[in-house]
Chain A
Amino acid sequence: MTHTETQDYRVYGWVLLALLILTTITITVTWIDLSALTVLVALIIASVKSFIVLRHFMHLKFESKLFTVFVVMVLGIYTLVIALTFFDYLMR
């Protein structure tokens, strides 16, 4: 267990900045007509934001690898569930 590890506060500052920039990008791309790709682009940006939050704010970086495996497994299952659902919509 490595719960006692701490992170430099400057990292949190960088994380905040990154989240603000990514949020700005999310809003900006809504002005561009990406047609079918709109949702995909929004999801990719949201995924990058989630990754940063999970790794730094939620300390996955310092935890046992098992937690990372769990998170990846859960994201994998949800990705497949969403893919299968949208697969139906695309094939109709």
Chain B
Amino acid sequence: MAEAITHSYLENTGRYKGILAWLTSTDHKRIGLMYMYAMMVFFIVGVLLGELMRLELFRPGQQFITAQTYNGVFTIHGIIMIFTVVIPGLAAVFGNFSMPLLIGAHDVAFPRLNLFSWYLYILGAAIALSSQFMGNGPPDTGWTFYAPYSIQTHTNVVAAVFGAFVLGFSSILTGLNFIVTIHRFRAPGMTFFRMPLFPWSLYATAWIQVLATPIVGITLLMVIAERWLRIGFFDPSLGGDPILYQHLFWIYSHPAVYIMILPAMGVITEIIPTFAQRRVFGYKAIALSSLAIALVGYFVWAHHMYTSGMSITARWVFSLLTFLVAVPSAIKVFNWVTTMYKGSIAVKPPFLFALGFIILFMIGGLTGLSLGSLATDIHVHDTAYVVAHFHYIVFGGVGFAFFAALHYWYPKMYGRMYNFKRANIAFIFMFVGFNLLYFPQFVLGLMGMPRRYFDYLPQFTLGEQISSIGGFILLVGIIIMLVNLFSRKGGKAPDNPWGGTTLEWSIPSPPPHENFDKLPVITGEPYDYE
């Protein structure tokens, strides 16, 4: 045992060397990093596709890609960003790297299953991406694969849909692993209400992964069956109901938003008390609000379908339910802000990104309420307003929380620091660029600019151009951030660079293979700053 802790998890001590040692490793920390590296590649591809769309939209009329190519670009941008980046996102990367450390465990409950999940993730992503290069060209349905068009189009929908199906299995197995780990592997004395709040958020997320993902899995298989066997599930010309597809798709895909955002909220809840050096305000309220979001989040899916032809009664019922889910989210925001009150705040990069998250998530959340309201949604449905709202939540929320988590746990991951000044500059570029990119789209949407159009009327030109310029400022910020983090120029990181009180800061940076020499015994609360 004493031998085991002398080596960090980054050093190879097993049978294999080099990349093979990583590809066969069942260490949760290595698997977390492997998810991160793969995800970064997908993220960069997704960003470049986004920039391509912004270039095309810089002026009205066709610039350099055709309308059909544009359809393919926004479809694969969505598939990559949703299914391979933000859905696995924080849970796969930081859930794997940090959660066992935070609960005082040697590893997750099923390490081999964990590695298998990563392979499924890579396989699913490869199948989805292969849709670009095989068959009758890239799919042009958008990432939602709405029927009946996804049944009728001659493009390569089947590969993309099947890739998403395989990715779903990876998600289910990771969720299962986390549920069992959190129930069975908590350190002695760590009751549920002594557990840090990031694992709490992962626990709520894991239940959604396990319960909701199978529904989209079978739905996507039904699309394939419909295309090949002409059964008549969704296509009206075959006797099917396209609204049934929308129900089944959103029964998963709305809770999927909480798969993305709950771990992001968990990360922010770790960062705020550390940098305010204050006990988290309303611990139980934050913990239980994660479960409440997960639970209520199951029953709001049809707010995506107000204009689909759904019954009027169902519309107002879902609108009411949608407003309910805002309550636990608001509890979290209130508690983060209150935790900072009278705190001894250290404005360091992780904290800046966390603040950025709160501001952007608030804008995304409040505009979500106007979309959850029946009357306004009918007006702005399928406009750029929805694009702006969605990106404020998914990029402003999940993305900024991911970068906050990366800057927070980076010293623990690699055992070295990064340049704070460059990290702050990157944040400023990203925050300004992000708002320039997406805020004009709220205005454009209210003016009537439809989403997913590759051309527009002249009155939208100014807004589209500000948006495109913002996109490139954001890109510069991302490049500065990645170069700063991965240029390996930072000094050696101490074990506890931020003065945190949770368990991961009590062990060396980077951690040894099995994390703890002896399992810690927990006798108090996790955020004991006073």
Q: Report A's interface with B, CB cutoff 8 A.
A: 66, 74, 77-78, 80-81, 84-85, 87-92
Contacts and interface: CB of A to CB of B under 8 A. Distances in A.
Contacts of A77: 211, 295, 298
Given A74-B211, A85-B251, A88-B247, A80 B299 contact: yes
B160 interface: no
B299 A88 contact: no
B311 interface: yes
Contacts of A85: 247, 251
Across the A-B interface, give the 5 residue pairs with the lowest CB-CB distance, nearest first: A91-B311, A88-B314, A91-B313, A92-B311, A85-B247
A88 B251 contact: no
Given A74-B211, A77-B211, A81-B251, A87 B298 contact: no
**Per DSSP, are chain B's interface residues mostly helix, strand or loop, or mixed?**
helix
Interface of B: 183, 211, 215, 243, 247, 251, 295, 298-299, 302, 310-314, 317-318
B388 to A, nearest CB: 28
A44 B215 CA distance: 21
B257 to A, nearest CB: 16
Given A74-B211, A87-B317, A88-B247, A81 B312 contact: no
Which has the most chain A C-beta neighbours within 10 Å: B310, B313, B314?
B314
Nearest to B305: A88
Which has the most chain B C-beta neighbours within 10 Å: A66, A77, A80?
A77
Given A74-B211, A91-B312, A80 B247 contact: no
A78 B255 CA distance: 13
B267 to A, nearest CB: 26
Contacts of B314: 84, 87-88, 91
B311 A81 contact: no
16 contacts: A74-B211, A77-B298, A78-B211, A80-B298, A81-B251, A84-B314, A84-B317, A85-B247, A87-B313, A87-B314, A88-B243, A89-B311, A90-B311, A91-B311, A91-B314, A92-B311
Given A74-B211, A87-B317, A88-B247, A81 B298 contact: yes
B120 to A, nearest CB: 23
Nearest to B321: A84
Contacts of B295: 77
A74 B302 CA distance: 20
Contact of A81 (B243, B299, B310, B318): B299
Contacts of A89: 311
Contacts of A66: 183
Nearest to B247: A85
B237 to A, nearest CB: 20
Nearest to A66: B183
Contacts of A80: 298-299
